[in-house]
């Protein structure tokens, strides 16, 4: 089965509104067709409405970087998946290691978020990844299998076949120390076989799996050439328009 590649930028907590507008204007008409690749920007929630207006009529898609799992209520400071979906936003990144580490997000919460995102017709980009300690102890596969199993619990086969999962080893994020493409392929393969164990072959062949961690224009093609890698989730190299566009050159 051939899976459509998906390249997603994760801006994290960067840019002013003016900088976000400038980026979108520089990029939106210069990306490859969405028949070839899904191109996504994960922006801070405060920019989502403006971003959706800015990308109108183009193939550039928009992702939130987080949401809450309840639709509405007394949850000061949170963003509702219903509100995000109403803007026309296509994706929500969940379970990023920064959220797990700094904001103490648990697999149980991430699972509830995944359910809520699907309920509102959006696609979760579910992140998983191990610490350096786990990696060095040779326990990556076990760790990843545990995270994925807990995070997708209760989702339907149909939902999982539309899911995007990003494998981001924590030791490779923002460090310039990217995982070797063979390791990325191997662990993305662990993600796929975990999905297969839980949902069967057809679903595991449909789910799209990204690698993330110091991906840049110079190394993206190496990852994209691998069997189990269907895309990339990119932090630092997604912040500048030129660099973001260069991440898409592998399509040509």
C-alpha to C-alpha distance for 244 and 222, rounded to whole angstroms: 16
Task: Output the residue with the shortest Cβ distance to ligand 13P.
Answer: 235
For the window 114-153, what string marks contact with ligand 13P as x by the rule CB under 6 A?
----------------------------------------
The beta strands (E) that lie in the chain are given as 6-10, 38-42, 60-64, 91-94, 123-128, 164-167, 208-212, 231-234
- Asked if residue 215 binds ligand 13P (CB under 6 A), the reply is yes
Instruction: Work out how close the CB of 202 gets to ligand 13P at its nearest, in angstroms, rounded to a whole number.
Output: 28
Q: Which of 163, 235, 248, 250 is in the footprint of ligand 13P by CB under 6 A?
A: 235
In the chain, the N- to C-terminal Cα span, in Å, equals 21
- Asked if residue 173 binds ligand 13P (CB under 6 A), the reply is yes
Q: Catalytic: 104?
A: no
Contacts of 42 (CB under 8 A, 6+ apart): 8, 9, 10, 11, 63, 64, 65, 91, 93, 125, 233
Q: Which of 151, 168, 185, 222 is in the footprint of ligand 13P by CB under 6 A?
A: 168
Q: Which of 152, 233, 247, 248 is in the footprint of ligand 13P by CB under 6 A?
A: 233
Residues 12-71 that bind ligand 13P (CB under 6 A): none
Contacts of 64 (CB under 8 A, 6+ apart): 42, 43, 45, 48, 79, 84, 89, 91, 92, 93
- Binding segment for ligand 13P (CB under 6 A), chosen from 27-35, 138-146, 184-192, 232-240, is 232-240
- Asked if residue 89 binds ligand 13P (CB under 6 A), the reply is no
> Beta strands 231-234 and 208-212: pairing type?
parallel
Q: Which residues bind ligand 13P (CB under 6 A)?
A: 10, 96, 168, 173-174, 212-215, 233-237
């Amino acid at each position: 089965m051939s899976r459509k590649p998906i390249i997603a930028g994760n801006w994290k907590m960067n840019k002013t509104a003016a900088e976000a507008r400038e980026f979108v204007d520089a990029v939106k008409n210069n990306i490859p067709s969405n028949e070839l690749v899904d191109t996504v920007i994960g922006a801070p929630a405060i920019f989502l409405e403006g971003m959706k207006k800015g990308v109108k009529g183009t193939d550039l898609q928009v992702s939130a970087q987080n949401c809450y799992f309840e639709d509405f209520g007394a949850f000061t400071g949170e963003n509702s998946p219903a509100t995000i979906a109403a803007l026309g936003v296509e994706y929500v990144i969940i379970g990023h290691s920064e959220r797990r580490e700094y904001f103490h997000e648990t697999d149980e919460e991430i699972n509830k978020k995944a359910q809520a995102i699907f309920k509102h017709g959006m696609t979760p980009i579910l992140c998983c990844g191990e610490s350096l300690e786990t990696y060095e102890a040779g326990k990556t596969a076990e760790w990843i299998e545990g995270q994925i199993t807990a995070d997708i619990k209760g989702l339907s086969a149909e939902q999982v076949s539309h899911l995007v999962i990003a494998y981001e080893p924590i030791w490779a994020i923002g460090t310039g120390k990217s995982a070797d493409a063979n390791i990325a392929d191997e662990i993305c393969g662990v993600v796929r076989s975990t999905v297969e164990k839980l949902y069967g072959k057809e679903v595991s062949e449909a789910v799209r799996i990204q690698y993330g961690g110091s991906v840049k224009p110079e190394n993206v093609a190496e990852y994209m050439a691998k069997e189990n890698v269907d895309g990339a989730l990119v932090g630092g190299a997604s912040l500048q328009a030129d660099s973001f566009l260069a991440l898409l050159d592998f399509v040509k």
